[in-house]
Amino acid sequence: KAGVTQTPRYLIKTRGQQVTLSCSPISGHRSVSWYQQTPGQGLQFLFEYFSETQRNKGNFPGRFSGRQFSNSRSEMNVSTLELGDSALYLCASSLGTSGLSYEQYFGPGTRLTVT
Amino acid sequence: QQQVKQSPQSLIVQKGGIPIINCAYENTAFDYFPWYQQFPGKGPALLIAIRPDVSEKKEGRFTISFNKSAKQFSLHIMDSQPGDSATYFCAANLYGNKLVFGAGTILRVKS
């Protein structure tokens, strides 16, 4: 089975711009979660989507948004980029069905640099 | 209350040694506790996980010990190898698929 894929792998943007990152989960997985990883704050949860609905949300400003499509693929968008948004953005997929395994499998991440 | 505290920050052991990484939590709503291994330039890889109704779980050279009353859990790596040198994260699951991570432990296994 193919793993979680994320595109693009690297991205350089300028302050004030917006960016869209994409994630394709493992086949059959219906939950996609997004995390931000920085040296200072570590790994922090952004949000989770299940069956095209946002099910959980972390403590990030409204500039961070996401969506999920009917094929479970997900995108996250960051508007009005700030220098502090430079980070590795990780996507994780899981079966997501309540009562079953919570195992989350991560993709390789998208390294975003804001200049 | 949603924090997971991980220690030590870094650890150096000799090949064949048994590194132990510890984590503690406060929120009793956490219902699943995974450990992840991350190499530079890669995403975290799921190593092993445990639920709070189990006190110990072994998978290969990796063992999780879980103490529900103390709200602590730990990872033991048996017969550690240089290839195990990586950053290890403990995590706790909240409300479905929301993972709260520890700060990470950088492990170096000397050959």
pLDDT in tens, chain B (111 residues): 679 999 999 999 999 999 999 999 999 989 899 999 999 999 999 999 999 999 999 999 999 999 999 999 999 999 999 999 999 999 999 877 889 999 999 999 999
To the nearest whole angstrom, how far is the Cα of B91 from the nearest Cα of chain A?
Answer: 10
Rg (CA), chain A: 13
- pLDDT at residue A105, as a whole number: 95
For residue B55, give both structure tokens.
């006190």
Scanning every residue of chain B, which has its alpha carbon at the shortest distance from the alpha carbon of A39?
B103
Token duo for residue A84: 């502090």
Q: What is the pLDDT of residue A99?
A: 54
Number of DSSP helices (H) and strands (E) in chain A, helices first: 0, 11
pLDDT at A24: 98
A-chain residues near B46 (CB < 8 A): 103-106
Contact A55 B97 (CB under 8 A): yes
Residues of chain A with pLDDT under 70: 1, 97-101
